[in-house]
Amino acid sequence: MKKFLKIGIPILIVVLALVFWWRYYFVFGEGVKAGNLNFVVKKGYIFKTWEGRIIQTGFKTPNPGSMQSNEFEFSIQDENIARILERYSGKFVELRYKEYLNAIPWRGKSNYMVTEILDVKDAVNNETLPY
C-alpha cells in the first residue's frame, strides 16, 4: 500500500496539473477580429479585469428570418493595450487574439484574450440597408 501511495500520489498530481493546464492555459486558437469598438471597461468584484466588445459589420442569422448583431466580447491582460483601446471607442479596430478553452477569474471573463492592436481607423458608415 505504501508503494502504491508513493507512486500513485505524484502521478495523480502530475495528471491533475496537466488537466488544469490544458483546460485553462492551453491556447486553443489564434486569430484576428475586426469591427467597431463598443467599449473597454475595467470591472470585477474581486479580480479587476479589462473587458471589451466590438460590433462586427453584417448580421449573424442563426435562424432563418431573424436578425442578430454579431458581437465579439474579449478580455485584455495587458494594461497598456487596454489604456490605448479605451481611447478608441467608436472606431473601427483590428485586434489579434488568443482563444482559451475556459476563462479564469483573474485573467478575465472571456475565453478570448486580445494580445495586439493591428489597426485603428475611423468608423465607416456603410449603408447596407435598402431604406
Residue ranges and CATH numbers for the domains of the chain are 28-121 (2.40.50.140)
Closest CA to 35 of 98, 114, 128, 123: 123
Q: In the prediction, which pLDDT does 63 show?
A: 66
Check if the beta carbon of residue 121 is closer than 8 Å to that of residue 49. Answer: no
Q: How far is CA 130 from CA 64, 70, 126, 127, in A?
A: 19, 20, 11, 8
pLDDT attached to residue 131: 43
Closest CA to 89 of 33, 35, 34, 39: 39
CB-based burial label for 100 (10 Å; 0-12, 13-18, 19+): buried
Whether the Cβ atoms of residue 37 and residue 88 lie closer than 8 Å to each other? yes
Joined grid coordinates for residue 71: 458581437
pLDDT of the chain along its 131 residues, tens only? 778 788 889 999 999 999 999 999 999 999 999 999 999 999 999 999 999 999 987 665 666 666 666 889 999 999 999 999 999 988 999 999 999 999 999 999 999 999 999 999 987 655 444 44
Report pTM.
0.77
- Buried-exposed string 2-30: b where 16+ CB fall within 10 A, e elsewhere: eeeeeeeeeeeeeeeeeeeeeeeeeeeee
pLDDT value for 128: 45
